[in-house]
């Protein structure tokens, strides 16, 4: 789906970072937008700005997708507004860092609900209509953390490994049915991720701009890839996990992510 003009795109986590840049880039290409996140004021400001600048339609739906039932409520809100989603971008997510036993269980629970369950449920809800139209795109945002276990970010790494595996499986299921699945795997990026994380200790390598990450994803549409890694060095590192013994890789990653 190279031509997104007059298509409807739903972006989760749209109020900042990668999600916000997806909104800007797709609006510039003529896509109408449904923007969702927890921050109503930020979403409204973004929606008004993009509608005025690009002449597109925008809808704002405030939702905390870490809460049970929220994905179904978001889907129902789209139905009630008469919006058929052509492009689904599951971008919302956050991480936790530190020794596992010292982390809040409730925080880790919300992390799994948002990073995993919301992705699965929204995909399950919106995919059937795409299949009926034999047209659609689902972009699920994972991370370079998906390619190996991540000591001190054990839950986050596991959720992103799930997203990568899940999306690649659906890519195979649907590649001849008109719906493209793409896993976007950025490395460290200049977003509020590390502010939410509460530390920069987990930042590895030079941070990419959100625009670079989004450009990589949009260039990959129509290329029949199941996943794309943003950044050449990030790609090399992601592939190194196939060559380096697991115990050694764990020690390397542990040294990178250990709280300082």
Question: What is the distance, to the nearest Å, from the Cα of residue 259 to the centroid of all Cα atoms in its chain?
Answer: 25
Domain ranges of the chain: 8-257
Query: Which of 217, 221, 132 lies closest to 178, judged by CA?
Result: 132
| Tokens standing for residue 45 | 């400001």
Question: What is the distance, to the nearest Å, from the Cα of residue 186 to the centroid of all Cα atoms in its chain?
Answer: 9
Contacts of residue 219, Cβ cutoff 8 Å, sequence gap at least 6: none
pLDDT at 196: 82
156 an active-site residue?
yes
Beta bridge partners of 59: 34
pLDDT in tens, 12-50: 999 999 999 999 999 999 999 999 999 999 999 999 999
pLDDT in tens, 127-141: 999 999 999 999 999
- Catalytic pick from 75, 156, 227, 235? 156
Residue 23 φ then ψ, to 5°:
-60, -45
Q: What is the pTM of this model?
A: 0.95
Q: Report, at the CATH architecture level, how domain 8-257 is classified.
A: 3-Layer(aba) Sandwich (3.40)
Residue 196 φ then ψ, to 5°:
-65, -40
Look at strands 58-62 and 227-229 and give their pairing: unpaired
| Tokens standing for residue 198 | 């509460």
Distance CA 137, CA 154 (A): 29
Positions of the chain with pLDDT lower than 70, given as ranges: 1-2, 201
pLDDT at 1: 62
């Amino acid at each position: 789906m190279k031509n997104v003009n007059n298509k409807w795109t739903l972006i989760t986590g749209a109020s900042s970072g990668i999600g916000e840049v997806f909104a800007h880039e797709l609006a510039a290409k003529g896509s109408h937008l449904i923007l969702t996140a927890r921050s109503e004021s930020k979403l409204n400001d973004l929606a008004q700005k993009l509608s005025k600048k690009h002449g597109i339609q925008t809808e704002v739906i405030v939702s905390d997708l870490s809460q049970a039932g929220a994905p179904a409520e978001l889907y129902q809100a789209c139905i009630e507004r008469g919006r058929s989603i052509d492009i689904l971008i599951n971008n919302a997510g956050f991480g936790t860092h530190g020794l596992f036993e010292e982390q809040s269980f409730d925080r880790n629970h919300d992390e799994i609900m948002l990073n995993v369950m919301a992705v699965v449920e929204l995909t399950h809800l919106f995919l059937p209509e795409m299949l009926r139209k034999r047209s659609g795109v689902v972009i699920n945002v994972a991370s370079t953390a998906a390619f190996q276990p991540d000591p001190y970010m054990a839950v986050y790494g596991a959720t992103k490994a799930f997203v990568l595996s899940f999306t690649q499986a659906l890519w195979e299921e649907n590649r001849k049915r008109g719906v493209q699945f793409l896993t976007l795997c950025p490395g460290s990026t200049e977003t509020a991720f590390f502010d939410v994380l509460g530390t920069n200790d987990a930042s590895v390598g030079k941070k990419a701009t959100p625009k670079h990450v989004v450009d990589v994803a949009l260039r990959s549409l129509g290329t029949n890839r199941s996943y794309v890694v943003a950044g050449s060095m990030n790609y090399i590192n992601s592939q190194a996990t196939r060559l380096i013994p697991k115990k050694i890789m764990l020690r390397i990653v542990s040294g990178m992510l250990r709280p300082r």
